[in-house]
Amino acid sequence: MITKIIFLTIIVCAFAGMARETVIGKNSRERREDKTKGHLLAEPLFTTAKKRNETSGIGVNTYLWKASLETVSFLPKKSIDPFGGTIVTEWYSAPETPNERLKIEIIITARSLSTEGVKVSIFREQKNKRGEWGSAPLDPETAIKFEETILSRARELKVAEEIE
């Protein structure tokens, strides 16, 4: 009985050593090619693993995407496209300013967390005396501050994930 256990242990160890030699014998390029064999792209489009380019199955930076959604979470959404990186809200009127409404469009263009990766457009309308909505001027700094808010939140999300 003990002889059989020792024999089986030796066989298992031998196979484990052979498998290890097979993996170690390949260079990093060969191992990468093995992992991506059969994929159209260099790596799978959808995966649960954390990727270096900071995306997770969507076409844009995950942190920018999440931060953008959180920033406009109080607004009703008209369109959300995680692959194209666009978020468009419905027109929104705050209860304290019923004669004014805003609409926000966010476009995320990068896979990396960078200032050039997010573009915000804010549209403002006011009611005229006849009750019709018309375009109204908006301080250009408003969109820049909105972009900065998204970038700050995205950085916070990234740091929080790295700490975990």
Q: Quick: pLDDT tens for 57-114.
A: 678 899 999 999 999 999 999 999 988 999 999 999 999 999 999 999 999 998 889 8
pLDDT score at 45: 46
Cβ contacts of residue 153 below 8 Å, gap of 6+? 67, 70, 71
Q: How many helices (H) and strands (E) does the chain have?
A: 4, 5
**Sequence letter at residue 11:** I
For residue 96, report the phi and psi dihedrals to the nearest 5 degrees. -80, -15
Q: Which one, of 97, 107, 105, lies nearest residue 75 by Cα?
A: 105
Q: Which letter does DSSP use for residue 76 in this model?
A: P
pLDDT score at 11: 54
pLDDT score at 8: 47
Q: Model-level pTM?
A: 0.64
pLDDT score at 10: 59
End-to-end, the C-alpha distance of the chain in Å comes to 48
Per the model's pLDDT, the better-predicted residue between 48 and 78 turns out to be 78
Judge contact between 87 and 65, C-beta under 8 A. no
Range of lowest pLDDT (12-26, 76-90, 112-126)? 12-26
- The CA distance from 38 to 157, in Å, is 33
Q: Which letter does DSSP use for residue 164 in this model?
A: -
Q: Which one, of 78, 159, 64, lies nearest residue 120 by Cα?
A: 64
- pLDDT band for position 34 (50/70/90)? low
Q: Calculate the average pLDDT of the chain.
A: 78
84 half-sphere exposure, CB direction, 13 A CA radius: 9
